[in-house]
Amino acid sequence: MADEINELAQSYGWPVVYETDRDFDRGIGREVNWGVTEQVVLGYLESHISNDCCLVGVGNDPELAERVVRQMDDDLEDEIESLAELLAAIQEDEDPRRLAQSLVRAGFGAPREFDEEFFDAFAKAARENDEYRVRDIAISSLVYIEWPEFKPMLEEIKAHDPEEQVRARASMVLRAYEAAGM
């Protein structure tokens, strides 16, 4: 999808200002940023796990960043999953592989403001799933959501999950939240 978004960005006159390829071994997905203005960047993030992607607008002009993302939503309307579809996938899918992919997509596409249903679905996957890799991916996906309501849950997981990898992931996400000023 990066190529399609690049074509759109080029049609608006936005140059690529940063690009990195996916590095699975280092846990890094593909990232491309286009300079909308000196104050706003349109960012494309692609998961190294699932190949799913998201767009974000960031910068010193939040209103313009929001308008840019809304424009991309309109331009890519047929290719963007709705919040209802994202939520249904993480609530209903029991296959660990598909659930993990759905969690990544839902992390990318979750609402900016706290949403009880998304919170409950992520909390269930992060705390209760029998497959530790699903718990790990659920926690990893929280880095994109950044709701302070997740912090107590992450602290609990960091202290009590039976898998070291999951405890370490909760610690990593908590550090990311701290770095983001949460």
Location of structure tokens 């993990």: 100
pLDDT, mean of residues 157-178: 96
Of the ranges 17-21, 74-78, 104-108, 175-179, which one carries the lowest mean pLDDT score? 74-78
- CA–CA dist 161, 127 (Å, integer): 8
Higher pLDDT: 16 or 49? It is 16
- Output the CA–CA distances (angstroms, integers) from residue 19 to 22, 90, 151, in the order listed: 10, 30, 31
Dig out the tokens for 85 from the structure. 């579809």
pLDDT score, position 11: 93
| Residue whose structure tokens are 């999953």 | 81
Inter-residue contact 126 to 173 (CB < 8 Å): no
The pTM for the full model equals 0.78
Classify burial at 36, counting beta carbons within 10 Å of its beta carbon; exposed 0-12, middle 13-18, buried 19 or more: buried
CB proximity list for 98: less than 8 A, separation 6 or greater: 89
Q: How far is CA 101 from the centre of its chain?
A: 11
Amino acid at 177: Y
Is residue 162 helix, strand or coil?
coil
Q: pLDDT-derived band of residue 180, with 50, 70 and 90 as boundaries?
A: confident
Give the dihedral sign, CA 70/68/18/172: negative
| Top-confidence range, 3-17, 54-68, 150-164 | 150-164
Distance (Å, rounded) from C-alpha 72 to C-alpha 134?
30
State the chain's mean pLDDT as an integer: 89
